[in-house]
Each structure stands twice: as structure tokens, then as C-alpha cells.
Amino acid sequence: MNVTHYFSAIEQADTYKRYGKVQQVVGIMIESQGPDANIGEVCYIHPASSSKRKILSEVVGFNNEKIILMPYSELTDIGPGCLVESTGKSLAIKVGRGLIGKVINSLGESLDDTALPKGLASFPTDQSPPNPMARAPISEPIQVGVKAIDSMLTVGKGQRIGIFAGSGVGKSTLLGMIARNSEADINVIALIGERGREVREFIEKDLGEEGLKKSIVVVATSDQPALMRIKGAYTATAISEFFRDLGYKVNLMMDSVTRIAMAQREIGLATGEPPTTKGYTPSVFATLPKLLERTGTNEFGAITAFYTVLVDGDDMNEPIADTVRGILDGHFVMDRKLAEQGQFPAINILKSVSRVMNQIASDEHKSTAQQVRSLLSTYEQNSELIQIGAYKRGTDQMIDKAITYYPKIQTFLKQDIFEHKTLEESIDMMKQLINGGM
């Protein structure tokens, strides 16, 4: 047996543990003299009292050879002179099939006081996006189980979609419907910056027992430090990548990208970055593409991703919404006006687009969807004239047709929360609608 390389490894091993010392704490930032560490490495901060737990933190910057750390938990128990120990590694979590049905935090720890199952593999949370040449083209549709999406905005396997909406328009409800009705093998759901009250509500009401059976939920609530909120997104994406590489059809649902951007802005401002567009720092616009490009297809499988974007004051052109829309492969716009009229899901078909629908839908399907879109558009353009009674029937054949079909289209686009339709059923219903069968 050749043991030479073992001796070589022993000779090169560093047997010393090196520590640094906390020198100052400013806001959410800890400044330490030493140890040797690189950006993204995890460090332990040892509290003055040995009975307290070590505090996990991450290197986020440097200042005159001092390292800037940010903790994954609260800053309590940290004082001047506390020892800082580098692990020499970035954050890794435990992943495997045993996680399915579990609710975990950003560090991969169980949130329901039960121990994680044995046999899980260690997996780094920070990964590079797949090589563009290794990405298989999106060629087949995936069933979402929502009539309005499957028929009018068909989603492809491995597509990345943005769901744009103001607060209280039904984003979480729509995500729950997709999680229950989709044909994906596994759902990975990231609830980032949510109110603590909403987490259990989403799991029990929107997701339900049936949805949880094939889901992994990653939670980072709004009261947690900025770093935990960002790591929640990275952890959920890493779990999706792990299952994609095993060949599973994975759905990643992240609510919401806006709160990830806000957390990154907090970190950027704390480390001294200049605020730019609407107070967002340059690192926000560098982080978003790196995170969002990690999903999609690769040589092993596909992650179909749904990212919600909370638009400020229903302004679809605010900086984060604009940036995310430019990165993703389509966007669904949820309209407050439709929600107020009682149409759920409140997706505005005319403002929404699926950029891969033309590649994955049949010619008949595309033609029928275009006819429905055209009728909706004609009605919307003339809605004021129609509603005040200024339009006389017989003046324009297309407007007459739009008036006849509009109530039927609205009925078709509505769907009860627990109503389930397959992709084929949704397309057939749309064809019947146009051919006068509904």
C-alpha cells in the first residue's frame, strides 16, 4: 500500500488554530483583528461566557486588514476581545431525500424541534450558475395546474418566471396552488422576509398536507438578521440544485426576491457601499443575476423557478422589478383591480408573458391563446365606451364579438383555490370557449 501521499498531506497540514479578536461592533457589523479568512468564510465568535453557544458569522468585507463579519443570529453576548475562529470553509447544509416534508431555517436546521434524519449529504450553499453551453434548450411544457397559466402563459420545464404583485393580491395563494397542482417531483419553497404569523398559515392553509408531502420549506422571517434572509435564498437554491443533479423535476418557489434585495442593501450599506438607485447598493444588482441564473436547466435535469417580486406601490418599473424582469424568462403580473373585482388568481393576461411558450406549445394552442388575448385586448381598449353605454352593437364586428366573449373568458380564467386542472384539460377548455362550447 502506497502511503507517500498520506505523509505528504500530514506535512502540509496546518496544526495550529488561529484566532482573532473582536475590536468593535457598529450596527449589524463586527470588526475583528484577524484571523486569516477570505470573503464568504464562516467564522465562530466565542462569547466571553464559556456557557454560551458559539455565534456563527460570515466574512463580508475588510477594512485596513481588519475583517468585517456579520452574524447569522443576534449580536447579543458579543463584547470587545471575544475570540474569532475561522472554519476555513463557506456555509454548507445537509441535503437528501430525508428533508422532504421538513421545514428548515437558512442554516438547514429543523424548525419543528425534530432532529434531521440521518444519511444526509453535505452540500455548499454558494454554487456557480451552470455553463451556458451545458443548458439544454427548454422544449417541453410542465403542468402548473392553474388554468390561466397552463392555457395562456404555458410554462416550460426549466423556465424561470417572475410573479409581480403588490401586497395582498394573492401571491402566496397562487404559490400554494402551483405547489399542490404541479407535476414536479419536488417543491422547494423559500419564504424570505415573511411575517412570522404567515409561515404556519402558508404551510397549513395554502400548501396543505398534500403539498407538504413533496415539499421542502426554507424559512427566514423578517425579524432575522439580513445575512440569514439572504442565506435562505441561497440554501433553497442549493437544495434545488442538489435534486436537479439527481435528475428530479424540481419546482423552486421563492417569496420574495424584493426582500432578498433589501437584505443585501442592508449588508452593502453596513460595509460602506454607496447607495445608488432608490438607495439600493451596487452589490444588489450584482447578486440578483448570480442567484437567479443558478436555476433553469443543466445537463442532468431542470429547476422550474417561480420568484415573487413585491412591487412598491404597484409600480412595475421600480429598480428591483425592472432588473428581475430583464433576467427571467417571463413574468406574470397580478393586478389589484382584478383582485378587487373578485377574479382569482388575479393574473393580468395582457400584461403577462411567457417567453418560451412559442417553443413548447402546438400551433393550434398558440392560435387559440392568441384569439383569447385579442378578444380581451379589444374589450379593454373599448371598455369605457362599453360601460357608459356609448357603444352601439353592430358598429364594429370585433368589438361585438369581444362583448359576447368577455364574461365567458373571465369565468374561464377564474379558479377556486383547491380546484385542480391538468394541462390538457385547461387547453381543451380554452378551445371549447373559442369554438362556442362554453
Cell representation of residue 119: 444519511
Q: How far apart are CA 247 and CA 139, in angstroms?
A: 16
pLDDT in tens, 69-116: 999 988 888 888 999 999 989 999 999 999 999 999 999 999 987 888
Read out DSSP for 41-61?
-EEEEE-SSTTSPPEEEEEEE
pLDDT value, residue 386: 85
Mean pLDDT of 386-412: 90
Question: With 60 as the cut, is the pLDDT of residue 437 above it?
Answer: no
Contact 229, 192 (CB under 8 A): yes
Q: Give me the residue label for grid cell 502506497.
A: 2
For the chain, state the CA radius of gyration.
25
CA nearest neighbour of 295 among 92, 93, 129: 129
pLDDT value, residue 421: 92
Question: With 90 as the cut, is the pLDDT of residue 59 above it?
Answer: yes
pLDDT in tens, 357-391: 999 999 999 999 999 999 999 999 998 888 888 88
Mean pLDDT of 161-188: 92
Contact 118, 389 (CB under 8 A): no
Q: How far apart are CA 253 and CA 260, in angstroms?
A: 14
Q: How far apart are CA 300 and CA 29, in angstroms?
A: 40
pLDDT in tens, 3-19: 777 777 777 776 677 78
Question: With 80 as the cut, is the pLDDT of residue 50 above it?
Answer: no
Mean pLDDT of 45-70: 88
HEC letters along 294-331: CCEECCCCEEEEEEEEECHHHCCCCHHHHHHHHHCCEE
Mean pLDDT of 205-223: 93
pLDDT value, residue 31: 94
User: At 69, which amino acid appears?
Assistant: L
HEC letters along 83-143: EEEECCCCCEEEECHHHCCCEECCCCCECCCCCCCCCCEEEECCCCCCCHHHCCCCCCECC
Q: How far apart are CA 72 and CA 226, in angstroms?
A: 8
CA nearest neighbour of 335 among 326, 323, 343, 324: 343
pLDDT value, residue 213: 92
Question: With 70 as the cut, is the pLDDT of residue 1 above it?
Answer: no
Mean pLDDT of 184-208: 92
CA nearest neighbour of 33 among 93, 82, 90, 96: 82
Cell representation of residue 233: 435564498
HSE of 408, CA atoms in CB hemisphere, 13 A: 17
Cis peptide before 80 (omega within 30 of 0): no
Please state, as a whole number, how many other Cβ atoms lie within 10 Å of the Cβ of residue 369.
Answer: 22
Per the prediction, the chain carries an average pLDDT of 92
Contact 262, 138 (CB under 8 A): no
Greatest CA separation for the chain: 95
Contact 192, 232 (CB under 8 A): yes
User: At 372, which amino acid appears?
Assistant: V
pLDDT value, residue 4: 79
Of the ranges 72-81, 317-326, 338-347, 425-434, which one carries the lowest mean pLDDT score? 72-81
Q: How far apart are CA 246 and CA 326, in angstroms?
A: 29
Contact 354, 373 (CB under 8 A): no
Per-residue pLDDT band for 289 (boundaries 50, 70, 90) equals very high
* Whole-prediction pTM: 0.92
Question: With 70 as the cut, is the pLDDT of residue 158 above it?
Answer: yes
Contact 108, 93 (CB under 8 A): yes
Mean pLDDT of 423-432: 96
DSSP run (H or E) holding 196: helix 196-201
pLDDT value, residue 283: 94
pLDDT in tens, 273-283: 999 888 899 99
Contact 422, 143 (CB under 8 A): yes
Domains and CATH numbers, the chain: 13-90 (2.40.10.170), 93-360 (3.40.50.12240), 364-435 (1.20.1270.330)
Q: How far apart are CA 223 and CA 200, in angstroms?
A: 16
pLDDT value, residue 3: 76
User: At 180, which amino acid appears?
Assistant: R
Cα separation values, 156 from 117, 134, 249, 354, 358, Å: 33, 17, 12, 9, 10
Contact 155, 328 (CB under 8 A): no
Per-residue pLDDT band for 438 (boundaries 50, 70, 90) equals low
Question: With 60 as the cut, is the pLDDT of residue 250 above it?
Answer: yes
Q: Is 372 left (phi over 0), alpha (psi -120 to 50) or beta?
A: alpha
Contact 329, 159 (CB under 8 A): yes
Please provide the distance, in angstroms rounded to a whole number, between the alpha carbons at the two ends of the chain: 77
pLDDT value, residue 52: 81
pLDDT value, residue 48: 81
Please state, as a whole number, how many other Cβ atoms lie within 10 Å of the Cβ of residue 220.
Answer: 29
